[in-house]
Structure formats: structure tokens, C-alpha cells
Amino acid sequence: MESAPVSNERLDFGKMGYGCQHYRRRCQIRAPCCNEIFTCRHCHNEAANMLKNFCDRHELNRCDVKQVICAVCDTEQPVAQVCTNCGVNMGEYFCEICKFFDDTAKGQFHCDECGICRVGGRENYFHCKKCGSCYATSLLDNHLCVENSMRHHCPICYEYLFDSLKETTVMKCGHTMHGECYYEMIKRDKFCCPICSKSIIDMSKTWKRIDEEIEATAMPEDYRHRKVSACFSSF
């Protein structure tokens, strides 16, 4: 005898009412690495990286998660979108590959080449194979490729960029950093890439203004007719 289909009202029960500071979801995960229960992998990683014994610190591989606990009825079960006991959607968005649940609509999609889920809508992004990450379509044929540019740490805050929850910015030189770190750097009048020292904005007007100021500045009388001699030293 087939079971009756779950109603939409039941599927939506408790939506946005559960979760953590990182995600709204109606389940928790059991971390296979330490057998502890957390709301998401970020919660696990934050707790694990606070352990006193440095050797005990570790991060959770999202794809290794096998068991989840429904936040509505507290039933532990294999990873699936719908709870086998109470019939609620444990995540409006669900990725079976990443074992990822999210009740917030963010245009989530799974990128096979990145191997993780991204946000912002698949139609708005493309995967750059050389850079090794998804970029906004506005950068298609409009950015300087740097091999695996996203598989590094932000040069300002040192958080790993590839799977960071924060928005990232691709600079003119092709290097990447967090958007908020980029704008904070600009506010502090730092206009060169922290990695390669190339200008990150168009500085042509600034250089022109400096040249004009130098040209308009009269050379002191003592230096006008002085000959410049080159000094050489032997080693």
C-alpha cells in the first residue's frame, strides 16, 4: 500500500523557525569525524577549532555526512530532504551531494566543477576553469585569469576564499579577496593589490595630477644649474 503524499502545509511546517547564525534549516547534522551533533558544518568547524589541544582541531568534510536529526521531531535518520517521521522539509533547498539544507531563498545551485553549492542563481554565474571557481557573468571574457585564484586565503583577513560565505571581489590583476576587505582597504587609501602590488583602480588621473604638480613646481635656484654626476663604487 502506497503512503499518501505529504501536503505542502506539512512540508512547510516550521520553515525559518530553526537553524543557526549561518543557515535557517530544520535539521542538524551528525559529524562523522567526531560523532557530535551540530546545526551546520560551520558551527562544527568553529567549535572544533577552539579545542585546547591543537592536534584535535579539524574541519568537517560536508560530503561525509550520513546522518541528520530533524529539528521538528528530533528523529535521527539518513540524509534526505523530507523527514521520514514527521514529513517536514528539512530544507527548502537541498543538495544530496553536499548534504546541504537551507530554508532561505538565495538562488542556490550546485556547481559540479567547484564541487560545492553556490548562491546567486546559476544563470548569473559561469565557472572559470583556470581560476578554478564560479564568477559573475559580468566577468566572462572580462577578467585576468590567475590559476586557482580562489583557492587561497583573503590577503587581508586570511579566511579561506573558495568556500567562504562572504562575497568576494576579483581585482584588475586577477587576484581575489573579500568584498568587505576590498572596500575597507580603499577607505584607508590603499590602492594596490596586497599580493602583487599592482593598482586595483584606474590611477591615471592621479598620476597626471602628480605630474602636473611637479611640472608647476619651480626647481630651487641652488639646483637649477647644478650638473648631475654619477658615482660608481667597486665591490
Q: What's the pLDDT score for residue 5?
A: 64
Per-residue pLDDT of 159-201, as tens digits, reads: 999 999 899 999 999 999 999 999 999 999 899 999 999 988 8
What are the C-alpha distances in Å from 101 to residues 23, 73, 85, 135?
A: 8, 17, 17, 23
pLDDT of residue 45: 94
37 in helix, strand or coil? Answer: strand
Average pLDDT score over the chain = 90
| pLDDT band of 229, cuts 50, 70, 90 | low
- Nearest CA-CA partner of 96 in 113, 81, 118: 81
Distance CA 145, CA 155 (A): 18
Q: Report, as an integer, the average pLDDT of 17-43.
A: 96
Model pLDDT for residues 86-118, shown as the tens digit of each residue = 999 999 999 999 999 999 999 999 999 999 999
Mean pLDDT computed over 192-218: 84
pLDDT the model gives residue 1: 45
Among 130, 153, 154, residue whose Cα is nearest residue 141: 130
Mean pLDDT of 55-76: 95
Q: Please tell me the predicted confidence (pLDDT) of residue 85.
A: 96
Determine the pLDDT at residue 11. Answer: 95
Q: Quote the cell numbers at residue 66.
A: 550520513
Could you give the dihedral angle defined by the CA atoms of residues 23, 26, 28 and 29, in that order, rounded to the nearest 10 degrees? -90
User: For position 78, what pLDDT does the model report?
Assistant: 98
Q: Tell me the helix, strand and coil percentages in the chain, rounded to 5.
A: 20, 20, 60
8 A C-beta contact, residue 186 and residue 172 = no
pLDDT digits (tens, 9 = 90+) for 116-166: 999 999 999 999 999 999 999 999 999 999 999 999 999 999 999 999 989
The per-residue pLDDT for 203 is 74
